[in-house]
Amino acid sequence: MDQLLLIAARVGALLKARGETVAVAESSAGGLISAALLAVPGASAFYVGGGVIYTARARHRLLGLGREDVEGIRSASEPYAELLARTVREQLGTRWGLSETGATGPTGNGYGDAAGHACLAVAGPVSLVETLETGSADRWLNMLAFAQAALKLLETAIATTHPDAPPLGELSRSD
């Protein structure tokens, strides 16, 4: 947990220094990504919101994504993670969207993915996607690993944007 909080502190410092914001859509990490970011003092300067998108119902109710939006895309895949990151970014009007979706364990999911499989995505001025395979069936350790990997991916994306570039204006909400 200490490692997760250290990564979140680095990400929070980068976001605050740049005046940028993030929104999170996580699944198998169970809220750990958001919790780690919110543990950073002054998180309200960069964390806009997020949700644990664990079911199709949550995906629809919290992100407004219908069946037609995910047609041909399976959960716990890179395209699904990209969709979640883009959508949460758009819905909450942030510079960055971060998502995680996977199978924590102790068994795999209904799509053939083994426990320890996660797909992570960042949407923003730089978009990144990554698949993680921990090889572990330990649910808690996988949750921590997924959250850490997601925050590291966001840190990488932020670091690849020019540090002196002014922050983009907040996206307008479509509500």
pLDDT digits (tens, 9 = 90+) for 98-108: 999 999 999 98
Q: Are 15 and 46 in contact (CB under 8 A)?
A: yes
Is 154 or 170 the better-scoring residue by pLDDT? 154
d(CA 106, CA 141): 11
- Average pLDDT along the chain: 92
Q: Which domain holds residue 114?
A: 2-160
| pLDDT reported for residue 173 | 34
CATH number, domain with residue 138? 3.90.950.20
Structural domain tally of the chain?
1
The string of pLDDT tens digits covering residues 8-59 is 999 999 999 999 999 999 999 999 999 999 999 999 999 999 999 999 999 9
Q: How sure is the predictor about 112, in pLDDT bands with cuts at 50, 70 and 90?
A: confident
Which one, of 6, 20, 45, lies nearest residue 159 by Cα? 20
The one-letter amino acid at 5: L
Does any domain span residue 149? yes
C-alpha 6: how far from its chain's center? 17
Q: With CA atoms as reference, report the closest residue to 33 among 134, 120, 125, 158.
A: 120
Does the pLDDT value for residue 169 go beyond 50? no
Q: Is residue 171 part of a domain?
A: no
